[in-house]
Amino acid sequence: VATVSRVLNNQPKVSKRTREAVHAAMKRLGYTPNAVARSLSRSRTDTIGVIFRQIASGFYADVMCGIEMECRARGLHMLITTSDRSAPQRLYDCDQMGEARVDGVIVLDSTMDRETISRVRSFGRPLVMIQNRCGEASASTVSTADEQGAYLALKHLLSLGYRRLLLISGPPAAEDSSLRIKGCQRALAEFQVSEEEAAMIIGHYSSQEALASFREYRARRGLPRAIFAFNDDMALAVMKELRGTGVGVPEEVAVVGFDGLDAADFMGLTTVRIPMMEMGKQAVGILAERMADPDRNAAHIILPCELIVRGSSGRGHVQP
Amino acid sequence: VATVSRVLNNQPKVSKRTREAVHAAMKRLGYTPNAVARSLSRSRTDTIGVIFRQIASGFYADVMCGIEMECRARGLHMLITTSDRSAPQRLYDCDQMGEARVDGVIVLDSTMDRETISRVRSFGRPLVMIQNRCGEASASTVSTADEQGAYLALKHLLSLGYRRLLLISGPPAAEDSSLRIKGCQRALAEFQVSEEEAAMIIGHYSSQEALASFREYRARRGLPRAIFAFNDDMALAVMKELRGTGVGVPEEVAVVGFDGLDAADFMGLTTVRIPMMEMGKQAVGILAERMADPDRNAAHIILPCELIVRGSSGRGHVQP
DNA sequence: CTGAAAGCGCTTACAG
DNA sequence: CTGAAAGCGCTTACAG
Per-residue pLDDT of B98-108, as tens digits, reads 999 999 999 99
Q: Do A240 and B79 touch (CB under 8 A)?
A: no
| Contact between residue A133 and residue A298 where contact means Cβ atoms under 8 Å apart | no
Q: Is A198 left (phi over 0), alpha (psi -120 to 50) or beta?
A: beta
Which DSSP state fits A85? S
Q: Do B100 and A56 touch (CB under 8 A)?
A: no
Closest CA of chain A from B79, distance in Å: 5
Average confidence score pLDDT of chain A: 93
- Taking alpha carbons only, the member of A275, A264, A270, A300 closest to residue A285 is A300
| pLDDT tier at A152, thresholds 50, 70, 90 | very high
* pLDDT over 80 (residue B313): yes
Q: How far apart are CA A140 and CA A87, in angstroms?
A: 24
Do strands B140-144 and A140-144 pair parallel, antiparallel, or not at all (unpaired)? unpaired
pLDDT at site A294 = 85
Contacts of B50 in chain A (CB under 8 A): none
B62 alpha carbon, distance to own chain's centre: 8
| pLDDT tier at A19, thresholds 50, 70, 90 | confident
B45 part of contact set with chain A, CB < 8 Å: yes
* pLDDT over 60 (residue B319): no
| Contact between residue A168 and residue A238 where contact means Cβ atoms under 8 Å apart | yes
Phi, psi of A123 (to 5 degrees): -65, -25
A148 alpha carbon, distance to own chain's centre: 17
Q: How far apart are CA B209 and CA B113, in angstroms?
A: 19
Mean pLDDT of A137-163: 95
3-state DSSP call for residue A108? strand
Q: What is the 3-state secondary structure (H, E, C) of B199-247?
A: EEEECCCCHHHHHHHHHHHHHHHCCCCEEEECCHHHHHHHHHHHHHCCC
Q: Give the number of A-B residue pairs with CB atoms closer than 8 Å.
A: 117
A49 part of contact set with chain B, CB < 8 Å: no
Closest CA of chain A from B158, distance in Å: 27
* pLDDT over 80 (residue B135): no
B4 CA, D10 C1': separation in Å?
A: 10
What is the radius of gyration, based on Cα positions, of chain B? Answer: 24
- Taking alpha carbons only, the member of A301, A306, A290 closest to residue A130 is A301
Verify if strand D has an atom below 7 Å from the CB of B41.
yes
B297 CA, D12 C1': separation in Å?
A: 30
Q: Is A33 left (phi over 0), alpha (psi -120 to 50) or beta?
A: beta
Q: Do B267 and A262 touch (CB under 8 A)?
A: no
Alpha helical stretches, state H, chain B: 2-8, 16-29, 35-42, 58-74, 87-99, 114-121, 146-159, 175-190, 207-221, 232-244, 262-267, 276-292
- With 0-12 / 13-18 / 19 or more C-beta atoms within 10 angstroms meaning exposed / middle / buried, residue B64 is buried
B39 part of contact set with chain A, CB < 8 Å: yes
Per-residue pLDDT of A168-205, as tens digits, reads 999 998 999 999 999 999 999 999 999 889 999 999 99
B118 part of contact set with chain A, CB < 8 Å: no
| Percent of chain A's residues with pLDDT above 70 | 99
Contacts of B78 in chain A (CB under 8 A): 79-80
Long-range pairs for A315-319 at CB < 8 Å and ≥24 separation?
A315/A160, A315/A250, A316/A160, A316/A161, A316/A162, A317/A160, A317/A161, A317/A162, A317/A163, A317/A225, A317/A226, A317/A254, A318/A161, A319/A161
| Contact between residue B167 and residue B200 where contact means Cβ atoms under 8 Å apart | yes
| pLDDT tier at A319, thresholds 50, 70, 90 | low
Average confidence score pLDDT of chain B: 93
| pLDDT tier at B318, thresholds 50, 70, 90 | low
What is the radius of gyration, based on Cα positions, of chain A? Answer: 24
What single letter denotes the amino acid at residue B155? K
3-state DSSP call for residue B172? coil
- With 0-12 / 13-18 / 19 or more C-beta atoms within 10 angstroms meaning exposed / middle / buried, residue A318 is exposed
| Contact between residue A228 and residue B225 where contact means Cβ atoms under 8 Å apart | no
Per-residue CA distances from A233 to A23, A49, A247, B90, B159 (Å): 53, 26, 19, 33, 35
Per-residue CA distances from B274 to A150, A155, B259, B304 (Å): 37, 42, 5, 7
DSSP track, A153-200: HHHHHHHTT--SEEEEE--TT-HHHHHHHHHHHHHHHHTT--GGGEEE
Nucleotides of D under 7 A from a protein CB: 1-13
Contacts of B58 in chain A (CB under 8 A): 56, 58, 61
pLDDT at site A108 = 94
Q: Do A72 and B64 touch (CB under 8 A)?
A: no
| Contact between residue B149 and residue B183 where contact means Cβ atoms under 8 Å apart | yes
Which chain A residue's Cα is nearest to B85?
Answer: A69
pLDDT at site A171 = 93
Per-residue pLDDT of B40-90, as tens digits, reads 999 999 999 999 998 888 899 999 999 999 999 999 999 999 999 999 999
Higher pLDDT, B33 or A9: B33
Return the percent helix, strand and coil in chain A, to nearest 5.
Answer: 50, 15, 35
Q: Is A155 left (phi over 0), alpha (psi -120 to 50) or beta?
A: alpha
Mean pLDDT of B24-47: 93
- With 0-12 / 13-18 / 19 or more C-beta atoms within 10 angstroms meaning exposed / middle / buried, residue B287 is buried
B2 CA, C4 C1': separation in Å?
A: 9
Per-residue pLDDT of A203-225, as tens digits, reads 999 999 999 999 999 999 999 99
Residues 6+ apart with CB under 8 A from A164: A197, A224, A225, A226
A173 part of contact set with chain B, CB < 8 Å: no
Which DSSP state fits B312? G
Which chain B residue's Cα is nearest to A63?
Answer: B56
| pLDDT tier at A318, thresholds 50, 70, 90 | low
Q: How far apart are CA A114 and CA A112, in angstroms?
A: 7
A57 part of contact set with chain B, CB < 8 Å: yes
* B144 DSSP β-pair partners: B303
- With 0-12 / 13-18 / 19 or more C-beta atoms within 10 angstroms meaning exposed / middle / buried, residue A253 is buried
Per-residue pLDDT of A58-76, as tens digits, reads 899 999 999 999 999 999 9
Nucleotides of C under 7 A from a protein CB: 1-13
Q: How far apart are CA B213 and CA B152, in angstroms?
A: 25
- Taking alpha carbons only, the member of A206, A186, A162 closest to residue A53 is A206
Q: How far apart are CA A57 and CA A69, in angstroms?
A: 18
Mean pLDDT of A265-269: 92
Q: How far apart are CA B160 and CA B199, in angstroms?
A: 18
Angle (deg, nearest 10), helices B207-221 and B232-244: 50
Of A124-133, A145-154, B1-10, B74-83, minimum mean pLDDT range: B1-10
B156 alpha carbon, distance to own chain's centre: 24
A67 alpha carbon, distance to own chain's centre: 11
Mean pLDDT of A252-278: 96
Which DSSP state fits A103? S
Residues in chain A: 320
Cis bond before residue B250 (omega within 30° of 0): yes
Q: Which residue is nearest to nucleotide D13 (CA to C1')?
A: B2
Q: How far apart are CA A137 and CA B145, in angstroms?
A: 52
